[in-house]
Amino acid sequence: MDIRIDAGRLRMDIEALAGFGRDPKGGISRPSFSRADLEARAWLKDRIAGAGLACREDGAGNIFGRLDGPGKTVMAGSHIDTVLNGGMFDGAVGVLAALECLRRIKEEKLPLAKALETASFTDEEGNLVGDFLGSRAFLGLLDGEALRRERTQFGPLLAEVLEGTGFTIEGILEAHIGRPDLEAYLELHIEQGSYLDDEGVPVGVVEAISGKRYLLGSFAGAASHAGTTPLELRRDAFLGLADMALRSTRHVATHHYGAMVTIGKVAVHPGSFSIVPGRVEFSLDYRSSSLEVLRDLDRELAEIAEDVAATRGLSFAAKLMDTTEPVLVPERLLGVLEGECGRLGVPFLRLGSGAGHDAQILASACDAGMIFIPSPDGASHSPEEAIRWDDLEKGANVLLGALVKLAT
Amino acid sequence: MDIRIDAGRLRMDIEALAGFGRDPKGGISRPSFSRADLEARAWLKDRIAGAGLACREDGAGNIFGRLDGPGKTVMAGSHIDTVLNGGMFDGAVGVLAALECLRRIKEEKLPLAKALETASFTDEEGNLVGDFLGSRAFLGLLDGEALRRERTQFGPLLAEVLEGTGFTIEGILEAHIGRPDLEAYLELHIEQGSYLDDEGVPVGVVEAISGKRYLLGSFAGAASHAGTTPLELRRDAFLGLADMALRSTRHVATHHYGAMVTIGKVAVHPGSFSIVPGRVEFSLDYRSSSLEVLRDLDRELAEIAEDVAATRGLSFAAKLMDTTEPVLVPERLLGVLEGECGRLGVPFLRLGSGAGHDAQILASACDAGMIFIPSPDGASHSPEEAIRWDDLEKGANVLLGALVKLAT
């Protein structure tokens, strides 16, 4: 049956959700379990109930809206949390487009061969203790020890952040109990890059989501006086990092085109203009849509670091902080999504996702696919993040068509 | 006349002074105008008076002990302030060896053809508002506006640090009024490098003191998503700094052997593992004993930075924070110092000083020279800083001999 979303209603929902967590410093700051997030949750549950869906919130704060049906569950969703000073579309469009789709299916009283659920997963952005807290909890993939031990980026422990919210670490660890058996998961999201915008195409069908490694590394040398230590006698930890940064980037660019490597966080010690750095700590983030490339990089980047250390009289150490594996979207889902683009006359391109998404976690339990809409100028995780409303309408109709196809 | 210092008395003075400002975190923390420094000042003035010298403290807190004589003044000194968690010898040995020399000359009632003065200059270490506050004040080289405007490394303005100490900015700016006419200045100091220690020689005669530039620079590019921004489209400010660090070091090492360049202080923004750095701020410190090399580096390092910025789509900016010119010690003083080493049978080497010293500032008003004693393992500005007492005895006797030669 040929049904379409109500684009005006979806836009009103997105604009209403953007009212929670506006930051005086710009954009939206709505990390999970903040006051703004708790208010946004109440609003979302109200909208789900208002659409006549069965609303459920699990122990991790994941919020679902269910249209019952026989057999397994076809799920669509994303997240409503944001980075600090983020945009109003990242995550929100996926949750609210899914809600709009189920609302339309319910209004049209389509006969279902499967159950349908919308999902809003907690802390996709990893403001607390690593990315994808909610979807990992939903699949029972969390390490209770780590949740209890690690500090959130805001300083306190997770348990302290949860105080007074009604959520607990025990509840998060038990969130996966009794979850529905999944048939497929679809997620609409903004691209967070400029490929679709540069190409002038309104919809992207994601064929692969990059896997990621996030390490904290350090080089240790010897702090010494900047005026009296000859260059050739120095064990300058910062020069080691500079060498590592340039060599890693050159290596990835020449041997693994399309993969990414980033050093985004750097601390130099002791950090005085007149003292040769004795120690540096840094983040190393690398990503690829190919598991083979990612495994090559695990070995090759460590070799580069060890070689830099050996050449420069330094020692190198690293700790793996987070890892996600690359996901290939199954041909079956690509076929459904591209079939709907064709049926609706929506131009599309296949592309990879360099950013991580809940879909990547869901892929360990069922077929998972993603629809991207353009990010004008590629702006992401910033107040400048934007969409075009007619791109969203096209993307949401592709999602609706695919859900109807999968569930009826 | 052949007189010698009392090495035991000098050691007792040094150990007594080290009692002020012991830091529970290690070493000595005695920045100028701290409580520990005010107590140390009182002790030093008492020791000067006890030696029968005329004690004077000027408006900048410089402390002098005078043995009157006809004609110009021959001065010897250094500083008693320390960096945070510094050692007990840097500065202190120079002030207290000079005091011991004048004490011995007074005890021996040597007839003087010149006046003699010991000096202890305020804030040589630049804990407050740039290096050499006291010696610059003594010579009337300070900028009152800057003193009023700039914050100390501890946060408050200089005027706030001075509250309750009896010192004022006006007093500092007027410290040079009525200062004695100088014939020469000598300073005994630990080397702060390992050259003498490596060579096994107890005394160094400094032939040049490096000049220095200290700049704060920045590269600005564009922050973007570490997973979605292809390497070739990035404007990664940290890679710019990495390139700058390696190219600057290679340039100095190959074209200006013996000069120094150091990037010791780095801040990367926004500083998240998953965001390509959009901005870095860094210190750039470079030094040479040749004014010509220093001026070449002013131009060449700026060219490297501009070239890095142009190549990588970044913008570069820099602000000069501090500058001192190189000083060549006049042959006359080298002759006197090396003559005394010969007379006393003390092995010596000529060397350059990569670190800055008050002698550099005094050199704008008179002939200025320095005697170094070894820093075992080159430790400096740390609790591990050390001397050998018999090296100090040799160095102090060279100082005493030179003062006698210059003033009698």
Residues of A in contact with B238 (CB under 8 A): 245, 263-264, 266
Position B378 scores a pLDDT of 85
Q: Which candidate from A210, A260, A273 shows the least CB-CB separation from B265? A: A273
**CB proximity B127 to A under 8 Å:** no
**CB proximity A239 to B under 8 Å:** yes
**CB proximity A211 to B under 8 Å:** no
Say yes or no to pLDDT of B224 above 90.
Answer: no
Position B381 scores a pLDDT of 86
Does domain A7-209+326-407 match CATH 3.40.630.10? yes
**CB proximity A311 to B under 8 Å:** no
Per residue in A265-279, pLDDT (tens digit) is 999 998 988 899 999
Q: Categorize the per-residue pLDDT at B1 as very low, low, confident or very high, splitting at 50, 70 and 90.
A: low
Whether A354 and B283 lie within 8 Å, measured CB to CB = no
Q: What percent of chain A has pLDDT over 70?
A: 100
Position A102 scores a pLDDT of 98
Whether B285 and A271 lie within 8 Å, measured CB to CB = no
Q: What is the mean pLDDT of residues B375-383?
A: 88
**CB proximity B263 to A under 8 Å:** yes
Residues of A in contact with B268 (CB under 8 A): 264-266
- Compare all CA atoms of chain B with the CA of A252 and give the residue at the minimum distance: B231
- Surface of A (352-381) touching B: CB under 8 A: 353-356, 378, 380-381
Nearest CA to A227 out of B300, B274, B197, B286 is that of B286
Per residue in B166-181, pLDDT (tens digit) is 999 999 999 999 999 9
Position B8 scores a pLDDT of 98
Task: Write the CB contacts of A296 (distance below 8 Å, at least 6 apart in sequence).
Answer: A256
Task: Report the mean per-residue pLDDT for chain B.
Answer: 95
A to B CB pairs, distance under 8 Å: 173
Q: Categorize the per-residue pLDDT at A153 as very low, low, confident or very high, splitting at 50, 70 and 90.
A: confident
Q: Where are the domains of chain B?
A: 7-209+326-407, 211-324
Q: What is the mean pLDDT of residues A322-343?
A: 96
Q: Categorize the per-residue pLDDT at A1 as very low, low, confident or very high, splitting at 50, 70 and 90.
A: low
Which CATH architecture group holds A211-324?
2-Layer Sandwich (3.30)
Residues of A in contact with B287 (CB under 8 A): 226-227
Say yes or no to pLDDT of B309 above 70.
Answer: yes
Q: What percent of chain A has pLDDT over 90?
A: 89
- Compare all CA atoms of chain A with the CA of B282 and give the residue at the minimum distance: A273
Q: What is the mean pLDDT of residues B352-366?
A: 94
Position B322 scores a pLDDT of 87
Per residue in B290-301, pLDDT (tens digit) is 999 999 999 999
Position A276 scores a pLDDT of 94
- Compare all CA atoms of chain A with the CA of B193 and give the residue at the minimum distance: A228
